Structures are given as C-alpha cells and as structure tokens.
Amino acid sequence: MKFLVLAIPVVIISGLVACSDKIDSSSNKVESAKLVATIQDIMVAQIDPAADALWESVSSTTTAEGTEDKQPRTEEEWSIVRHHAITLAEAANLLVLEGRRVAAEGKLLEDSHVPGVLTADQVQKKIDLDPHRFANIAYEFQDYAKEALVAIDARDTEAFLIAGGKLDQACEKCHQQYWYPDAVNPAKFPPLTTHK
C-alpha cells in the first residue's frame, strides 16, 4: 500500500517530462517556449484590454460641482485590477521572447494608412537589429506594471494613479521608437490611449 502512494507522484512527474520539449534536468525548468501569438496579437488581446481596464479603474475628475474620484474600493475591485497589472507585467516577457514575430504574414498594423507608421516588416527589422534595446524598453514597461502591482497591494490609490501614468508613457516610448517613429506630425497623431 505504501508503495502505491509513493508511485503516484513518480508517474505524474515522469509524465510531465515526457510531454515537454526541452527540460533542463538539473532544474526541471523548460528552456524554450512554444510561441503562438504575434506582437500584434499580444497588443490587441492582452496588453490593450488590460491597460484600458487598469486606467479606467482609477481617475480624478474636477468639475464646477467638485472633484469626483473613481477608484477600486471593494476587495473584488482591487483583485480585478491586480489581475490586469499581472497580465501587463508578464506580457513584457512575452514580447521579448526569441522568435516572436511582429505580425502574421500580410497583416496590416493599426493606423498603417497614417504617414510615418511603419509596416510590420519594418518594425520587425528594427527589433531584430538590436533585440536588447527592444527588451530594455519592454522591461521598463514591466517595471511600471510592477509599481502598479505594489500600489494595488498596498491599496495606495495615489501611487496606483502615478504608476498608471508611467505605464502610459512606457507604451508611448516603445510605440514612438518601433511603430510610428516617422509620423510626420505627431501632434496630429495623439497617443492611442485617451484616458485621463
């Protein structure tokens, strides 16, 4: 009977090993990821919705009638924004994985009709020229997502609002360098995000 109890975990572990591609046997860590999505997919499916939800959860609006502060209040509301901050922080890792393509073959990037907006091939070349530079910008973005996470865990609305603003700037920094570096008139091409 004792033998049976011991045998079950062994079978499970060896089953896991058999399923994975490459496992470093010394640490049992997977060495390579199996990529599914493009950068464009990650922007649209993960980063954009998580960032929007995070930004929309907190605001301070001053009108003639006074100031209206919107912020997460219940545990459930804080927990929802926490999940979005985690999505953003980990999405940075997804962006920089080796082999990640900018977009699927033939896919147009958003705003591709605007003068100065690069094509997917051009963005790809820019990233491939110096992937570490791209990664540094992604990790800077991750730092702000982590800052938001710390603020959320401390239930510190003010710090959360500040981290949200820095996140917005980090989106812009990457986009200005990799997506629309040659936009003719940046004043006519405001940031995608119109939250305030």
Chain residues binding ligand HEC by CB under 6 A are 39-40, 43-44, 47-48, 51, 95, 102, 109-110, 123, 134, 137-138, 141, 167, 170-171, 174-175, 178-179, 192-193
* Least distance CB 110 / ligand HEC (angstroms): 4
Shorter beta-carbon distance to ligand HEC: residue 73 or 83:
83
Shorter beta-carbon distance to ligand HEC: residue 66 or 99:
99
* Least distance CB 104 / ligand HEC (angstroms): 10
Shorter beta-carbon distance to ligand HEC: residue 88 or 157:
88
Instruction: Tell me the C-alpha distance between 130 and 34, whole Å.
Output: 22
Instruction: Tell me the C-alpha distance between 91 and 116, whole Å.
Output: 26
Phi/psi of residue 120, each to 5°?
Answer: -60, -40
**Residue 43, exposed/middle/buried by CB under 10 A (0-12, 13-18, 19+)?**
buried
* End-to-end Cα separation, the chain, in angstroms: 64
* Least distance CB 53 / ligand HEC (angstroms): 11
Shorter beta-carbon distance to ligand HEC: residue 39 or 149:
39
Tokens of 61: 């609006």
Shorter beta-carbon distance to ligand HEC: residue 13 or 44:
44
Q: Of the candidates 74, 92, 78, 103, which has an alpha carbon nearest to the alpha carbon of residue 179?
A: 103
Instruction: Tell me the C-alpha distance between 81 and 154, whole Å.
Output: 13
* Least distance CB 108 / ligand HEC (angstroms): 8
Q: Diameter of the chain by CA atoms? A: 76
* Least distance CB 137 / ligand HEC (angstroms): 4
